[in-house]
Amino acid sequence: MSKLFSSLCLRNVELANRIVISPMCQYSAVEGSPSDWHWAHLGSLALSGAGLLCIEATAVTPEGRITPGDLGLYSDANEQGLAAVLRMIRAVAPIRVAVQLAHAGRKGSSREPWNGGKLLPQSEGGWRAEAPSAVPHAPDETPPRALERADLARLRAAFASAASRAARLGVDAIELPAAHGYLLHEFLSPVSNRRADEYGGSLENRMRFPLEVFDAVRGAFPSERPVGVRISATDWVAGGIDGDEAVRIAQAFHGAGADIIHVSAGQTTPEARPVYGRMFQTPLSDRIRNEGGVPTIAVGNITEADQVNSIIAAGRADLCALARPHLADPNWTLHAAAQLGYTPQPWPVQYLTGKEQLERVLRRRESELLGTSTV
């Protein structure tokens, strides 16, 4: 059996295979609540056959949104809206569902990517972003408001409240994003954290608030369901997080109770100089998993079923997350099963005729390549 289709248990939650649909912001919510777009988008991904579907970055406060169109889980209306979407998902598919509880930090109050992604001024419906230090993400942006101690308590409570809402919604898992230049990563990275108190300076101090937030989320979510953390294992910039620090950060979260670490990279600053390529972040996952002894999710330009198999079989990660491939092909996992000849992969009964035809077409192509009789 292909490693892609082996199961994995995280606490009491069993994933049918090793494919995770990454959280992908859609910037299409209304006051934090899902719109018709989310019904169509998440409904299609629910039928994908993947082991885990992670709902996009879902802000724990209005100011924690990246754009005005971000999902949120800070109000009763948000919770009711997501509850309806989740009822739809549960009614049509057995897929496990996670939610990423997020705060954008200094990247908040931005325009949608298709509108340039620049800072949205308050005069046009934006808000003053907040961050560990009054250091803007880009030099031409308004500096964020530096968080005070009372703000830290407020945000810990907001994360815990959102985790309690997620528990009531019945999601199977939570992912906490401490990556990509958003709030918790801003505390972790010396590029964005210039604080002089116990939350800045040494790595231990920079980890303090993210770990406090993790503890608040873990304490508010049922113990039988997993909580993972996404990190940027390198900032791709001199003086930023890299190497040994990334391993120590992963180990600290794992030691605090994180069940798995989603290993990404970069997006801390426009000055970063990433090195792209096929599966380019997998070595980061490999190091954290094997040097740090921490279960990981590999992500980043993983596009083929054979790549997933090789990563899992070689012990470089426990799960593989794919984002853009699922935008191009929401049924990526079902198609991978047919390509690999893994016939036990369940399909929706309404789609079984499509499964049979796809398998026949693939067998015919294989026979033609081998020069044998067609099927």
Check: CB of residue 191 under 8 Å from CB of residue 132.
no
**Which residues 6+ apart lie within 8 Å of 162 measured at CB?**
58, 60, 73, 74, 101, 217
Residue among 345, 341, 343, 334 at smallest CA distance from 363: 341
Check: CB of residue 51 under 8 Å from CB of residue 18.
yes
Measure the CA–CA gap between 126 and 22, rounded to whole angstroms. Answer: 27
Q: Find the DSSP H helices in 305-351.
A: 305-313, 324-328, 332-340
Residue among 295, 293, 298 at smallest CA distance from 309: 298
Measure the CA–CA gap between 57 and 245, rounded to whole angstroms. Answer: 25
Residues tagged active-site: 182
- Beta-strand ranges (E) seen in the chain are 8-10, 13-15, 19-21, 52-59, 71-72, 96-102, 130-131, 145-146, 173-178, 227-232, 261-264, 296-299, 319-322
**Which residue pairs from 116-125 have beta carbons closer than 8 angstroms and sit at least 24 positions apart in sequence?**
120/67, 120/68, 125/68
Other C-beta atoms closer than 10 Å to the C-beta of 49 total 25
Q: Output the six-digit token pair for 21.
A: 């649909």
- Number of Cα atoms under 13 Å in the Cβ half of residue 68: 13
The values of phi and psi at residue 93, to 5°, are -155, 150
